[in-house]
Amino acid sequence: MTQTPMLEVRGLFKYFPVHQALLGSLTRRAHSSVKAVDDVSFALGHGEVLAVVGESGCGKTTIARTLIGLETPTNGEIVFDGKAVGARAKQPHISLKQLRQRAQMIFQDPYESLNPRATIFEIVAEPLVVHGMIKDRRERIAAVKSALEDAGLRPAEDYFMRYPHELSGGQRQRVVIASAMVLQPELLIADEPVSMLDVSIRAEILNLLRDLRQRRGISIVFITHDLSTVAYFADRIAVMYLGRIVEIGPAREVLKSPQHPYTKALISVAPVPNPRLRRERVILQGETPNPINLPTGCRFHPRCPVAIDICKVNDPQLIELSAGHQAACLLLTK
C-alpha cells in the first residue's frame, strides 16, 4: 500500500495583478499579472527533504508562502497529509489554522522575523499561545526550554529573558527554528534559512536542520538559490525557472546528471570542494525575462544555449526520464 504523501501540490498557480492608473481617472485597473507560480505540481513524502532551487524571482518563495497560506492560490490545490487545505475545499479538508499547527515556516531573515520588543521566551512561547496549546505555565516553560535546547541554545534558561538584539545572527536563526519547532510540526518550509548568515555559521544551521529531520522524521521543503547547500541534505531537487518546475528528481541524480539546460548551467557555476570535479562553466546570457510578459514557447528559450527554432513555439512539459526524474525540454522528447 502506498503511503499518503505529507504534501501534494496539484496544478498550483499564483498570479499577482498589476494595477495601472487609467489616464485622467482616479480608478486603477488590473491590466496584466505577474505569473509568479504557473502550473506547479509536486509531492513530498513523510520525512523527505525537497529542495526547491532557482534564481531570484523564479517563484520559489511565492510557492513557500502559498503552501503555508500566506498567499491565496490563484488556482490549484494543496493537499496536506491527504486533506485539501482551505475552508472552501471539498471534504476531507484541513483549515489554515489546523495547517499552521502542523506546518511551520522558517523565514530567510532572522533579523526581521523576530519581534525586537519581545523576550526570547515570549517569542518561542507565542505559537503555543496563538494556538491555545499547553496552558499550564510549568508545561509551557518546559516546552519552550525543550525547543530552545533542541535548537542548540543551551542552557535555555540563559536565553529566556534576552532580546533578539542581544544575540548573534546564528543564535537568532536558532530562535526562529525553536519557535517553529515548539508546536512539533510535521512539515517545515524553510525559505533560504541560511542565506543571510555568515558562511561560518551556515553549516551549523544546516546541521541543526538535518539533525531535527533525522530525530523527528520531519518533512522539509528547503527553498534556496545555493546548490552547494542542496547537495548537503536534500533527498530530491526541484529546479524552477520563471514560475515553473523545469526539472525534478533524486538529488544525487540531478546533481550528477542534470538533463535540463538550465539545471546544467546552474550546476556548472555552483562551487565544488574539489576543483578537479569542476564542470565547464555555462554562463547564461541576458536577464531573466519579465514574468508579466513571458516568452512564447519554452520560457527559457531567450537564454538557452542550445535552443532550436521550435523552442520559440512549443511549450515543453515535464516528461519522465527515469524513476522519479522528470525534465521539461523539447530536446529530451523521445
Q: Which amino acid is at 108?
A: Q
Residue pair 228/271 in contact (Cβ under 8 Å)? The answer is: yes
- Residue ranges in 205-264 that form contacts with ligand SF4 under rule CB under 6 A: 261
Instruction: Please report whether residue 331 would count as binding ligand SF4 according to CB under 6 A.
Output: yes
Instruction: Please report whether residue 311 would count as binding ligand SF4 according to CB under 6 A.
Output: yes
Which DSSP state fits 217? Answer: -
Nearer Cβ to ligand SF4 (32/317): 317
Out of 298, 318, 321, 326, the only residue in the binding site for ligand SF4 (CB under 6 A) is 298
| Interaxial angle between packed helices 120-130 and 137-150, expressed in degrees from 0 to 180 and rounded to the nearest 10 | 120
- Evaluated on CA atoms 164, 170, 176, 179, the torsion sign reads negative
Instruction: Please report whether residue 267 would count as binding ligand SF4 according to CB under 6 A.
Output: no
Instruction: Please report whether residue 327 would count as binding ligand SF4 according to CB under 6 A.
Output: no
Instruction: Please report whether residue 36 would count as binding ligand SF4 according to CB under 6 A.
Output: no
Task: Determine the size of the site formed for ligand SF4 (CB under 6 A).
Answer: 12
Instruction: Please report whether residue 193 would count as binding ligand SF4 according to CB under 6 A.
Output: no
Instruction: Please report whether residue 329 would count as binding ligand SF4 according to CB under 6 A.
Output: yes
Sheet holding 187-191, edge to edge: 103-106, 187-191, 219-224, 49-53, 236-241, 244-250, 325-327, 319-322
Residue 52 exposure: Cα atoms within 13 Å on the Cβ side: 31
Out of 120, 245, 284, 307, the only residue in the binding site for ligand SF4 (CB under 6 A) is 307
Q: Which stretch binds ligand SF4 (CB under 6 A): 120-128, 155-163, 274-282, 297-305?
A: 297-305
- Residue ranges in 63-92 that form contacts with ligand SF4 under rule CB under 6 A: none
For residue 315, give every residue at least 6 positions away whose Cβ sits within 8 Å of its Cβ, in sequence order, or none. 297, 298, 299
Footprint on this chain of ligand SF4 (rule: CB under 6 A): 261, 298, 300-301, 304, 306-307, 311, 316, 329-331
